Structure 1
Amino acid sequence: MVLGLDIGGTKISSGLFRDGELTDSMEIKTPANSPKEEILETISKQIEAYKHYNLKAIGIGIPGLVDPIHGIIYNLANIPSFHNVNLKKYLEERFGIPVAVNNDANCFALGEYKFGAARIHKHVVGITLGTGIGTGIIANGHLYTGRLCGAGEWGAIPYLDGTFEDYCGSKFFKERYKTSAKKLSVRASEGDQEAIEIFYEFGKHIGELIYRLLLTFAPEAIVIGGSIRKAFPYFEKGVQEVIDAFPYLPISENLKLYVSSSNDSAILGAISLVEENEYLVNNEATINISNPLV
């Protein structure tokens, strides 16, 4: 039995996959501003709550740069003290079972590919829309992570007068319209024309992001997740208008655009990391198993 954890700047979520569904879910607050040792202890205590299940392995998704082979965390912006942390080694020594670690956006994409509507495709991109944006890539049925899981960091790509993160996440609503996607959704559902127009504009920006993803990866499917996905009916029109202008019609016309129906995709992806890491080690790590950053 494999335990999955989704570690974020505000909460740590976990669960087991049993009998075709996620069970025994737990959620605790992340002590994001605490010392590294306290954060490690918090993670460990959450894992200990599942020890009576005789766990086979642990899979963990976490934001930032991650070495998926050695399980080392780098450059974690939302948890200041959690840098250069060998999480895999620490937990394996403490619990005596294998631990797989990867970027949380990659876990979302993997979870949707393994358990969601995208499971019928081989080339998938997962996009999470929340405080920021994250991107995970499935190529030929497996995660493509790049160096230190740095592939697909589209939020940092320059766009208009800022980056895609400025236009495709909650910052767009907060900084440009002094509101939130959630509040605008309520207004849009009531027929408020201003809210509808703001979402249309937002959709155009998401469409521009997808346009570039199509040029870069030519996926068969794109899955949208994150908290803002719930407002998709209000920004779908703007997204589709940009996709319709894509020059290579055999790609864009056959693209499947899904909205995630699960709040647990990242946990399910973390659970799937254990099997995925066996593929990673056998097919990628053998090329250059050394890690100059360690």
Structure 2
Amino acid sequence: MTAVLELGGTHVTAALVEAARVVRRVRRGVDARGSAEHVLGAVVRCATDLDAAPGEVWGVALPGPFDYDKGVARYEGVGKFDDLYGIDVGSVLLDGVWPRPGGVAFLNDAHAFALGEWHAGAARGHRRCVGVTLGTGVGSAFLADGAVCRDGPGVPPLGRVDLTRAEGRPLEGTVSRRAVIARYGDRAADVRDIAARARAGEGRAARVLYESLRPLGAVLAPYVRDFGATALIVGGGMAASWDLVGPALRDGLGDTPVALRAAALGGDAALVGAALYARPR
């Protein structure tokens, strides 16, 4: 079994993964705007509660900006985990988690998601695929035979779709939880509420979702085509409304020859991907 951690904006999950299946998990709430002591304390307690075997190499999936090779947080002015800036998170985990880990392998959470889906989910059997997560922001990963590509034909700058533009503005100004809520005009409604209203026949809600998501498909189309991806897998909180998300993305993709699918592993995809990444290669 492989021990893993996934840190998100509202929670941290520790899990044991065996044969691409989560066999045990522990979850704790986290305030992404909280102090470093709060955030890292929650992470260490969550990992310790898992009671993994000593000497395990842990896979840890978390969002950027982060120095994944050195294990140092680089969050600054991004509205989450800012108090962690400059902290050697790897050392905190190695010194604080009990039983003591034997090492820590960090990776981007969108990369972990795509790896999990490629290994055991909706992208299984596809040599080249693109994974996209839709939530607070837009995460992405371009995989070739399970390896993350950060440059080359069909790969956006640094492998990050969020650095591109849609309809003359930064992509996340159109496609993100914040952007959808702002476009809808009711800050008391979350994306799932807007989706429910769209299903109930509210034209404005359906139009807002379509007009927010179709541009993402249009932005992705040339990258997916040039990269030679045969599968485009979408996960994250917004993908829960796949009956509305899928058709809008498909319209934006046009005749791009790619299998568009919702994530098959749900919230376990990043955990499975982190476990795969942490294994000896």
Instruction: Pick which of 191-200 and 178-187 moved more.
Output: 191-200
Alignment partner, residue 209 of structure 2: 199
Q: Deviations over 1:169-215 (max 9, x none)?
A: 11232111124321122122223333333333233112113214325
User: Taking structure 1 as reference, are residues 145 and 92 closer, same or farther at Cα in structure 2, changes over 3 Å only?
Assistant: farther
8 Å contact from structure 1 (residues 22, 268) kept in 2: yes
| Percent identity between the two aligned chains | 22
1:2–1:55 CA contact under 8 A, matched in 2 = no
**What is the aligned partner in structure 1 of residue 260 from structure 2?**
257
Give the one of 155, 166, 176 matched to 1:159: 166
Give the direction of change, closer, same or farther, for the CA distance of 1:23–1:241 in structure 2 (3 Å limit): same
- Determine the C-alpha separation between the residues in 2 that align with 1:39 and 1:197: 38
The aligned counterpart of 1:284 is: none
RMSD of aligned alpha carbons: 2.3
Q: Using the alignment, how far apart are the partners of 2:19 and 2:234 within structure 1?
A: 26
- Matched residue count: 267
In structure 1, distance between residues paired with 2:230 and 2:162: 21
Matches within 5 A, 1:72-221: 72-75=72-75, 77=78, 78-94=80-96, 95-145=100-150, 151-179=158-186, 180-215=190-225, 217-221=227-231
2:239 match: secondary structure: helix
TM-score of the pair, normalised by structure 1: 0.81
From 227, 233, 243, the equivalent of 2:237 is 227
Per the alignment, residue 51 of structure 1 pairs with 51
CA distance 1:178–1:68, change in 2 (3 Å): same
Q: Whole-Å Cα distance in 2 between the matches of residues 156 and 19 of structure 1? A: 35
Higher helix share: 1
* Residue number among 253, 273, 277 corresponding to 1:269 in the alignment: 273
Runs of at least 5 residues in structure 1 that lack an aligned partner in the other structure:
246-251, 280-294
Which piece of structure 1 moves more, 98-107 or 202-211? 202-211
Contact 1:3 1:55 in 2 (8 A): no
Which shifted more, 48-57 or 115-124? Answer: 48-57
d(CA) in 2 for partners of 1:274, 1:224: 23
TM-score between both structures, scaled by the size of structure 2: 0.85
